[in-house]
Structure 1
Amino acid sequence: MSMLTPPGMGGKKFRVTGDRYPRMRRPRHRRRVLAALGTVAALGVLGFGTVQLVDVFTSDGSGERDRSTQAKSAAGGGETCEPTTEAAAPPEAPEPTSVTVNVYNATTRTGLAQETADALAERGFTIGEVENAPEPLDGRVEAPGLVLGAEAANASGAVGLVTAQLAGAETGDPETAGEAGATGPAAVDLVLGDGFTNLATAEEAEVHLAELAVPVTEPAPDDADC
């Protein structure tokens, strides 16, 4: 009998029998790690949801307005709306032969009205009266000239055509046209003032007439719909 055999065993050999084996258990520290990760994930979800709710209830809507503005800008190519109102284009100038010009001298220079009338006749204008200026205008015109015409003469372009012939000429209120006597759509009074030296050249008159024909563009009211 071997010295390692327990007493009473008689030296018999034994073997392990049966179908039950010891069970292997996972280390407890892995369970703790998984539980900690789950807790962190849950807290992250709850925190994100809280931020979203706070944003919903405290937002003043400016974000939505900003997004709407950006969408409109993108749809319109990024251009800024700048509404404008374009004035009606001035009427086309009539032919000089269809316009009758009354020439009046409001200065102390003798013969000035006749000289100017002859120069206008050479440009094709029909000449009417050639006189000294009526008393309400005599000696009271400081500009090179004052062009007067009735409302119809302004609408027909006759006033603009005569104004283009004299650099620095002023135009009077159509209601004052009766001061000299022009009436109708084709009659214009040209009152020569102290500032008169000579008529504009034909080329200068053409340029001035072209400038008068350009319509003026003005900004539309602030509440205009784009």
Structure 2
Amino acid sequence: MGGKYRITGDAYPRMRRPRNRRRLVLAGVGAVAALGLAGWGTLQLIDVFTGGDKSAAAADHKRDCPTAKPSAAPAKALPKPASIKVNVYNATTRSGLAKDAAAELKKRGFTIGEVGNASKEYDKKVPGTGVLLGAPAAKNGSFPVLGAQLTGAVEKTDTRKTAEVDLILGAKFKAFSTPQQATAAVAALTKPAPAPSPSC
């Protein structure tokens, strides 16, 4: 064009808008965030359907928990019947009961001491099957072995210094446990106690 509308110089008017860089950067960040959320959601779904990484959790638990020793607690040592001296007393109205009971205990290997009627303190005053009477040390020794022969016997201690034990037969006494039952009861007492499991 000529005249007053003639364009001079080397600068030309821009025919398009300048690019907005900030908008492009925000769009890129948004896309990365969206991809990250999608990936995280996919992993969560995989964990839900597969149960997660159980092996890793078990390994962490095993590492934090102390290892239990397989060894069991030592067994309780009980005396043999031959080393237990038993005095047998009858606190019932049945005659000859102490003698018969002493003979049966002797067959089972016990050493028999005195045999006769119970003292006034216990005569006709034992309503159960019997009473085991001895020194305090007998509770962890002679009582469990002798008590295995007579179910329901009551254990009592006195101030005696000797190791012998009194068996006072009561009104409900009918018969001793069978030898098999008594042996099983003693065996159960001598089994090693299992080691405690870790609390974690």
Cα distance per residue 1:151-192 (max 9 Å; x no partner): 23334x2222111111222222x2x3x5xxx6423x111111
Is 1:212 matched with 2:189?
Answer: yes
Name the % identity. 38
- Contact 1:113/1:192 (8 A) holds in 2: yes
**Change in CA separation of 1:112 and 1:28 when aligned onto 2, cut-off 3 Å:** same
Is 1:37 matched with 2:24?
Answer: yes
| Cα distance in structure 2, aligned partners of 1:24 and 1:212 | 107
Structure 2 letter corresponding to 1:111: G
Q: How high is the TM-score relative to the length of structure 1?
A: 0.57
Question: Partner residue of 1:184?
Answer: 162
- Give runs of aligned pairs for residues 54-203 of structure 1, distance below 5 A: 74-77=59-62, 89-92=75-78, 94-155=79-140, 157-172=141-156, 174=157, 176=158, 178=159, 183-185=161-163, 187-203=164-180
Question: Partner residue of 1:63?
Answer: none
**Change in CA separation of 1:135 and 1:215 when aligned onto 2, cut-off 3 Å:** farther
Choose the corresponding residue for 1:27, options 10, 13, 16. Answer: 16
**Change in CA separation of 1:43 and 1:74 when aligned onto 2, cut-off 3 Å:** same
The alignment yields a C-alpha RMSD, in angstroms, of: 4.1
SS at match of 2:86: strand
| Cα distance in structure 2, aligned partners of 1:196 and 1:122 | 19
Q: How high is the TM-score relative to the length of structure 2?
A: 0.64
SS at match of 1:147: strand
| Cα distance in structure 2, aligned partners of 1:134 and 1:79 | 63
Gaps of 5+ in 1: 1-19, 45-70
